[in-house]
Amino acid sequence: MPENVLFAFGLTLMAGLATGIGSILAFFTSRTNTRFLSLALGFSAGVMIYVSMIEIFVKAQDALTGSLGDGLGNWITVAGFFGGMLLIALIDKLIPKQGNPHEIKKVEDMTNKDPSQDAALLKMGAFTALAIGIHNFPEGIATFTSALQDPALGVAIAVAIAIHNIPEGIAVSVPVYFATGDKKKAFKLSFLSGLSEPIGAIVAFLFLMPYLNDVMFGVIFAAVAGIMVFISLDELLPAAKKYDEAHISIYGLIAGMAVMAVSLLLFI
């Protein structure tokens, strides 16, 4: 069990700190690679949707029906799934649109500003960092609990979350950098915004693991499936379509599903 805990925490840390990768990429480009961004976000959505509906939901259902019987187990699985959606929807509702990390902005849109807008840029970066911190907290719980139960599944979820954290890092670092001219400050804020993911893992370890029986596991996994489907449909796909060219986001979505399907067949 200690090895599994360290592995699960390491995956969660890796996924969260992918915001730092986005920050570094932003410093070396003057224009957004919209084709790559659209493909990557579509791919991440495909992985999340497929693994949620084919693997995570089913594992939750098996755990709950095995413990509570078919009738009550199925009802609680569905309730947990939509409860996860409701949780992430409420979090999104509380985040101002200006700071929503999935309101993807182009690098050039954030850099072509006159000096009088420095304060507004800095505020935008700070709001986005705070929003990412709030938003990534339940994702940290999802990654940690998934990896704890099934390491291969945890890897798949961590990779998908890491991919969609990269543009979030860009959204934090670019406005801060062009408002202050300080790359270190921009990187640090972007990097720190991803720490809520491992903090979510720590909370899961301290407060959920002592009570982690089949019923608790089933409810958490059902909620995780709902959270990931909601993020994909409400945020990742619309963001991918915003910069779409020739259905690239849909190709990314299908590729993400296919990669996840093959992974499940080979390794899980």
> Side chain identity at 144, as an amino acid letter?
F
Q: Is 197 annotated as a binding residue?
A: yes
Q: How far is CA 149 from the centre of its chain?
A: 19
Domain layout of the chain by residue ranges: 2-28+46-267
pLDDT for residue 258: 92
Q: How far apart are CA 73 and CA 164, in angstroms?
A: 32
pLDDT tens string 91-136 = 777 765 554 555 555 555 555 555 555 566 677 667 777 777 777 7
Q: Is 213 annotated as a binding residue?
A: no
**What is the pTM assigned to this prediction?**
0.74
Most confident of 3-7, 165-169, 195-199: 195-199
**Dihedral of alpha carbons 221, 225, 227, 228, sign:** positive
- Residue given tokens 């990931």 in the structure block: 228
C-alpha dihedral (9, 11, 17, 18), degrees to nearest 10: -170
Q: Is 135 annotated as a binding residue?
A: no
pLDDT tens string 66-86 = 999 999 999 999 999 999 999
pLDDT of 17 strictly over 80: yes
Is there a contact between 8 and 204 (Cβ–Cβ < 8 Å)? Answer: no
Phi, psi (5° rounding) for residue 181?
Answer: 70, 15
Q: How far apart are CA 199 and CA 13, in angstroms?
A: 9
Q: Among the residues of 53-117, which ranges form H helices?
A: 57-68, 70-94, 107-111
pLDDT tens string 36-46 = 777 877 888 88
Is there a contact between 210 and 10 (Cβ–Cβ < 8 Å)? Answer: no
- Residue given tokens 């960092």 in the structure block: 129
pLDDT for residue 97: 55
pLDDT for residue 160: 80
Q: Is 165 annotated as a binding residue?
A: yes
Q: How far apart are CA 147 and CA 51, in angstroms?
A: 13
pLDDT tier at 58 (50, 70, 90 boundaries)? very high
pLDDT tens string 151-174 = 888 888 888 888 778 777 777 777
Mean of all residue pLDDT scores within the chain:
80
The DSSP call for residue 243 is: T
Percent of the chain with pLDDT over 70: 82
pLDDT of 266 strictly over 80: no
